[in-house]
Amino acid sequence: MEAVKCLSGGASLEANAESVLRAITPSLDPTRHKGQAGKIAVVGGCREYTGAPYFAAISALKIGADLSHVFCTEGAATVIKSYSPELIVHPILEESYNISGVNDEGKRDISKKILSEFDKWMERFDCLVVGPGLGRDPFLLECVSQIMTRARQSNVPIVVDGDGLFLVTNSIELVSGYRLAVLTPNVIEYKRLVQKVLGCDVNDQNTHGELLSLSKQIGGVTILRKGKSDLISDGEKVQSVSIYGSPRRCGGQGDILSGSVAVFLSWARQCNLAAERESTISRTNPTVLGCIAGSALLRKAAALAFEHKKRSTLTTDIIEHLGQSLEAISPVS
């Protein structure tokens, strides 16, 4: 495959994203049952932010995942449920304002209960998306830290975005050395990561070397640096996705990306498990494949949405074009 040739040592930095999409997108098979095409969980959503977890979770379904869950606070749950009946919403997270009168022992009990509730579902998930609409409440972040630790113990892949990156930047040990973790920072989030991990400012003259060094320093975590060209590294090499997207930079596109990467990562892992017959794809890191595919699909859907909506393009318009964009690259078989 051309995609894999590039990934496994070809001279070109630019990934053959369409070949990756075709390679890892499963065909629609009537013999498969519900759940085999992916079960994704989004951990995020609080009083202030309900759109971001919805965008990530619904994008996963629109691409082709079978089930999409959202774990959020009670204050966010009803709102998120009202957006779509397709999502399975769990209002189990708590914020500090809700337990302000509770002593430390009581807070520990609440934290244990939250983790216990999440544990009931953990083994069902193919990937977690942590961070969309999470907010920065200290108690909430501490509970999510424990969820991430438990997911890591269970070898569940984790895509970290939004406020999840704030959490990880301040507690890098949550993902350090975990090769099934993906970080998707924007310009500001990337700057904070570089300052925290490498102890310096971003060097725009050595973009690729810096990204490679950052990924290595965090133990081979895959990083998707969002920008004019999305740059992806797992500490071994750097890949680029430069497909033209849209000049309309509406908020929420990062949430689409995180949900998309989660689905494609889980599909790439399925390819690896089935893969003695496809030895080239099986040697490629599934987190890298997931990032390449997610980046490419978002850009194509954004371009298609802009073609129709121009300046009035919104995140919901891009989501509605995800399926059409994927079908154009990897037709249903």
10 is in an annotated binding site: no
Is it the case that residue 324 has pLDDT exceeding 90? yes
- Please give the Cα distance from 105 to 30 (Å, whole number): 51
pLDDT band at 114 (very low <50, low <70, confident <90, very high): very high
Model confidence pLDDT, tens digit, residues 76-111: 999 999 999 999 999 999 999 889 889 999 999 999
Query: With bands split at pLDDT 50, 70 and 90, how would you rate the model's confidence at 47?
Result: very high
Instruction: Please give the backbone phi and psi of residue 141, each rounded to the nearest 5 degrees, phi first.
Output: -65, -35
User: Was 191 annotated as part of a binding site?
Assistant: yes
195 annotated as a binding-site residue: no
Q: Is 234 marked within a binding site?
A: no
Contacts of residues 117-125 at CB distance under 8 Å and 24 or more positions apart, as own/partner, are 117/90, 117/92, 118/71, 118/92, 118/147, 118/150, 119/150, 121/41, 121/69, 121/90, 122/150, 122/151, 122/154, 122/156, 123/154, 124/35, 124/39, 125/39, 125/40, 125/41, 125/69, 125/151, 125/156
Architecture (CATH level 2) of domain 2-329: 3-Layer(aba) Sandwich (3.40)
Choose the weakest-confidence range: 242-251, 294-303, 305-314, 324-333.
Answer: 324-333
228 known member of a binding site:
yes
217 is in an annotated binding site: no
Q: Per the annotation, does 177 bind a ligand?
A: no
219 annotated binding-site participant:
no
Asked if residue 162 belongs to a known ligand binding site, the reply is no
Q: Is 109 annotated as a binding residue?
A: no
Reported as a single tens digit per residue, the pLDDT across 170-197 is: 999 999 999 999 999 999 999 999 999 9
Residue 45 in marked binding region? no
- Residue 274 pLDDT: 64
29 marked ligand binding residue: no
> What integer is the mean pLDDT of 57-62?
98
Judge whether residue 278 has pLDDT over 60. Answer: no
Q: Binding site annotation covers 83?
A: no
Determine if residue 251 is labeled as part of a ligand binding site: yes
Residue 133 assigned to a binding site: yes
Structural domain spans, the chain: 2-329
Mean pLDDT of 150-169: 97
pLDDT at position 329 is: 86
pLDDT at 3 exceeding the cut of 50: no
Q: Is 204 annotated as a binding residue?
A: no
The per-residue pLDDT for 33 is 78
249 is in an annotated binding site: yes
* pLDDT for the residue 283: 65
Residue 276 has pLDDT above 80, yes or no: no
Q: Is 100 annotated as a binding residue?
A: no
Residue 314 to residue 300: CA distance in whole angstroms = 15
216 is in an annotated binding site: no
Q: Which of 44-53, 88-97, 191-200, 280-289 has the lowest mean pLDDT?
A: 280-289
Residue with tokens 């689409």: 256
Annotated binding-site residue? 46 = no
